[in-house]
Amino acid sequence: MADPSQLIKHIESYVDSSRSPTQQASSLDAIVSLLKNDAVTIGSLVKEMEMYLTVTDDILRARGILLLGEALNRLSSKPLDNATIHSLITFFTERLADWRALRGALVGCLALLRRKSIGIVTNIDAKAVAKSYLQNLQVQSLAQHDRKLCFELLECLLEHYPEAAASLGEDLIYGICEAIDGEKDPQCLMLTFHIVELLVQLFPDPSGPISSFAGDLFGILGCYFPIHFTHPKAEDIDVQRDDLSRALMLAFSSTPLFEPFAMPLLLEKLSSSLPSAKVDSLKYLSCCTLKFGADRIAKHAGAIWSSLKDAIYSSGEELIPTFNSEPTSNSDFQKNQIAAEALALLEKVIVQNTDLFLSMIIGDEEVNMIFNNITNYESCNAISLQSKQKLHMVGHILNVSAKASLSSCNRVFENFFPRLMEVLVLSVEKTSGACHSNDSCVNSSKISYGSLYLCVELLGACRDLFTTSENLTPQIISPNEKCCCLLQCYSTSLTRIFSSILATCTSGPSYDADMYLGVKGLQILATFPGGYLLMSKSTFDDVLMTFMSIITVDFNKTLLWKHALKALVNIGSFIHGCNESEQASYMDIVVDKIILLALSANNSMPWPLKLTAISSISTSGQKYMLKIVLWLEEMILTNLSEFYVEGHQKSAEIIIQLFECYSNELLPWIQKNEGLEEVLQFVVNIWNQIESCMAFSVRVHEKELIDVTMKFMKLAVACCSVESQNMIIHKAFSVLSSSPSLQLKESLSDISVQRERLAPTQETDKFSTRDEWILSLFASVIIAVRPQTHIPNTRTVLHLFITALLKGYVTAAQALGSLLNKLDLKSNGTSISGHCTLEEAIDIIFSSKSFDNVPLGGHGITNNGDEISFPNLCLGAASNGLQQINVIVGLAWVGKGLLMRGHEKAKNITMVFLKCFLLDSGIGTLPLKQVSENSCKQDVHHSVMKASADAFQILMTDSELCLNRKFHAIIRPLYKQRFYSSLMPILQPLINEADSSFSRSMLYRAFAHVIIDTPLSVVLNDAKKLIPLLLDGLALLCKDILDKDIMYGLLLVLSGILTHKNGKEAAIDNAHIIIKCLIELVEYPHMMLVRETAIQCLVAMSELPHTRIYPLRIQVLGAISKALDDPKRAVRQEAVRCRQAWASIASRSLHF
């Protein structure tokens, strides 16, 4: 048992109102810990607290009861015996009458009533709690938190003790009405709405006690509709308007007894001028329709139909489809929420009361007026806006009505479809009771837009209904259904009329609407489910050929071409799972012809359009994708072969576009649909081709081609499994080994090989063209492999990349960084020739024998030893400046790979870069080489220093080319934050002490690269120290046009600081210099984004304390007045905002 004195000490600390909240919370935690560990029992706690639970001092008594309640709340899972539970709940029940100690009593009751483990409150005790609640609590007179506890207690009683609550009958209902009436707090309202929902479920009998209170309850609920959320600090609470609205909707629909009150209110609010009120009314009506039942809703059918028709029509132009865009799976009218909700409600009421609502739709005067005057709607462009809105309103209503159910579809088609066919000039002859359409009557020039549009809407609705029915219950629809008979009767003529419309569109000027409806109509007819297919095979083939004719011949009609291509993709996707005849037709007519089209040199279609068509069609199904992928691979390999040998520029252009298509369009689809075997084989085939082609043309130096080939190689390898990657890398390594000039002398020791690789090289000492291709593609493979993939002869690969990066091959440097990022830390125990661990690879690269023993001086920088190594090459041991720069770039990528995985060696690389900044400086005590007065050497030093500064950009910036998650890099969390924290204490003093203007500018450049890519949350912590550096950096870098991107990045960091609460506090001390710097940047000539962001920063500065910024008001307004004449509109807009913000400072100063 615990020492009683300790328990008493904690009790006294908690009940002492003079103690801080933190101290009180600590005391409560200590007491709960004692109880959980059985060092103190509940009984002994109550005994020790007896004085505080009954004392006449209101504050002490309230604190004591609250302590007991909070302690029990923390012990919900601790078993308690029934006697203890009964004693405690009885005590808290009595305390509900003690209004000064009410909070503790509520917390205690809730803690006990919510228990689910051993020891729960009985129904008798729960009923006693409810009685005491109703007798003693005046909820609306309490503070918000206490009201919330009261409502939580009611909710708990209704949910967990329904029998006890129901036994109180009308007293409970009356008490709840009194408690919730007039509530305004959002959190409390969420509870009150749920309480009403639970209450009516407690008394389901329509003639029960709830029936006499239904009006009163709904009167309380109704005053909240529609929800008007005006809470001043919405961000401080977890309740949003949508949460409240949904809770109220559930309360509205909780019982059919609310129907006489809810339906008139909701229908009335549909006429509101507030769009949000209309949307809410429609949502609530949809919910209530399902809950109130068909009979009750039928009483309001006329009002519902009238209101829905008005709501759909009032949606205005949003209801009209936009025909000049690609067809989408969702209708354009759904952009309008009111129309979408109204049509959703219409579908529900039709399903619920089919005959009643269809009779009203069929008999509606406005609907029939549209059909009676349908011949007047000849052209989409010739119809008035009002008439167009009515036409599309009817179209959407018929669409929803037809797809609501099979019976509704039959009735809608029976009443409207023949009338449309008559208007479409399709005469019907009946022979022996069968329908035969007279195709000679088809005349596309006389077809009215209105009839065509309504026809497409009905066809689409029927197709959607059939598709849904087939997916849910196959063979549920009989071909003898009325809608099926009518469709089969007219299908051939409909196909001809849609085709004739498209023929008209291709032969001359046409309207966008005609194009859209012609394509859409044929697409719908071609995609009816197999059991109800409306087309013979020959007709289906004709449709495909019509679309293909548009693709191959009418590619200059951009919109029609896009519609036709989209339709072909949709048809292909639809029939991919159907019978073989449709698939065979699609393969022969569409896929094969698309491939022939691409192969044809006579066709005048632009090559990019051919690729667009190919990539789109390929996504119709895996079978089509496979065929197109195989063709695409053959095309690439053929053109690569021609390019390797002959160096044809045309072949290079084709390959570039083919690879772009494969990488950007096909590869993501293949990866998603598990077709990676073909990708693996293609990658191997590329290597086979390079292996077989020994003599490359001297003209093969197309950088863009190498880049796209590398991009494909990386993406393809990255999506393969480890097993496939092992196959690829072994093939690539065998090709690499077969090149005499790339072979390494593996018999030499690491040090001798390293000396050979690090020996000075000439700038022109490049690889052969073939070797460049092999090296680049092999590096791409290394970049993309997974860490688990085995790389053969790692030492050889390592030496090869070192040699290549010294010659200036950046890809080799990226591959080297990727290799070190993914190498194993330790040997796996098996002895493999040429394999090495991460530490062994680092020793090879850095010649660790001399580098690891370098002592760190005042700033962590020294130079010691003359042995040839990467660090010494960076610091001047290289034969020329270009080699120094190559080594720096290589070290940067190596450092990035190590930094991302959290390796300590990244720090050593950083020190090498910092040391390069001091090549012409006299900082510190470092024994640096004397800089020659020769201007040529000075330029070399400056280039090296600039390369070192830009190395920090490589270290910090996320790269799309390598070392990212897509290419399976090992990324340690928060590596950028750690790098920033370790670097800034070194970099900042170097900047302050630099006595060379150039080295100072380069240090600022390095600082900029680091700070730009450091997460803002980290920067904000050091904002006070960083703001002066940021401003100095902006002042230095603004002089060179080449630094405009860095300028913009720094300005974005400053903007992030100024717009954050913590950053504004840091900016106050530097307000004057910040504003002066920004004023200068308002006129920055080299980049519009810099000017725009500078002005945005000035707007943020206007929110700082008046006394800090008012003296500079005139200067700011003067600079902004010039920005008002800026040639860029975005800058002028920001200048207007800024002028208003700073001009208002005068009025604020008067108020101040």
Alpha-carbon span 994 to 999, nearest angstrom: 7
Q: Name residues whose C-beta falls within 8 Å of residue 1116's C-beta, 6 or more positions apart in sequence.
A: 1075, 1079, 1098, 1138, 1142
Q: Pick from 83-97, 329-343, 729-743, 1057-1071 the range whose average pLDDT is largest.
A: 83-97
Residue 234 has pLDDT above 50, yes or no: no
Higher pLDDT, 471 or 725: 725
Give me the amino acid identity at 1100: A
Tens of pLDDT, residues 976-1019 = 999 999 999 999 999 988 878 888 889 999 999 999 999 999 99
Identical topology for domains 4-230+238-256 and 1047-1152: yes
pLDDT band at 872 (very low <50, low <70, confident <90, very high): low
| The two three-digit tokens of residue 981, written as one number | 């924290």
Alpha-carbon span 1057 to 1017, nearest angstrom: 9
Q: Pick from 600-609, 727-736, 843-852, 934-943 the range whose average pLDDT is largest.
A: 727-736
- CATH superfamily name and code, 4-230+238-256: Leucine-rich Repeat Variant (1.25.10.10)
In DSSP terms, which residues pair with 436 in a beta bridge?
429
Q: pTM of this prediction? A: 0.75
Exposed, middle or buried by CB within 10 Å (0-12, 13-18, 19+), for 355? Answer: exposed
pLDDT of residue 471: 57
- Per DSSP, the residues of 958-978 read PPSSSSSGGGT----TTHHHH
pLDDT band at 202 (very low <50, low <70, confident <90, very high): very high
235-239, 634-638, 1071-1075, 1087-1091: least confidently modelled range: 235-239
Report, as an integer, the average pLDDT of 747-761.
Answer: 47
| The two three-digit tokens of residue 479, written as one number | 């071909």
515-519, 893-897, 972-976, 992-996: least confidently modelled range: 992-996
pLDDT band at 851 (very low <50, low <70, confident <90, very high): very low
pLDDT band at 320 (very low <50, low <70, confident <90, very high): low
Report, as an integer, the average pLDDT of 2-18.
Answer: 82
Q: Residue 153 in contact with residue 106, Cβ under 8 Å?
A: yes
Report, as an integer, the average pLDDT of 531-546.
Answer: 82
Strands (E), 355-511: 428-431, 434-437
| The two three-digit tokens of residue 913, written as one number | 């870069």
Higher pLDDT, 690 or 381: 690
pLDDT of residue 481: 82
What residues does each domain of the chain span?
A: 4-230+238-256, 1047-1152
60-69, 358-367, 577-586, 588-597: least confidently modelled range: 577-586
Tens of pLDDT, residues 423-460 = 775 433 333 344 544 444 445 556 778 889 999 999 99
Higher pLDDT, 1064 or 648: 1064
Exposed, middle or buried by CB within 10 Å (0-12, 13-18, 19+), for 41? Answer: middle
Tens of pLDDT, residues 29-79 = 899 888 888 888 888 888 888 888 888 888 999 999 999 999 999 888 888
Q: Residue 792 in contact with residue 974, Cβ under 8 Å?
A: no
pLDDT band at 811 (very low <50, low <70, confident <90, very high): very high
- Domain with residues 1047-1152, CATH architecture: Alpha Horseshoe (1.25)
Higher pLDDT, 11 or 1095: 1095
Residue 19 has pLDDT above 90, yes or no: no
Residue 856 has pLDDT above 70, yes or no: no
Report, as an integer, the average pLDDT of 1125-1135.
Answer: 93
16-30, 189-203, 549-563, 753-767: least confidently modelled range: 753-767
Higher pLDDT, 474 or 587: 587
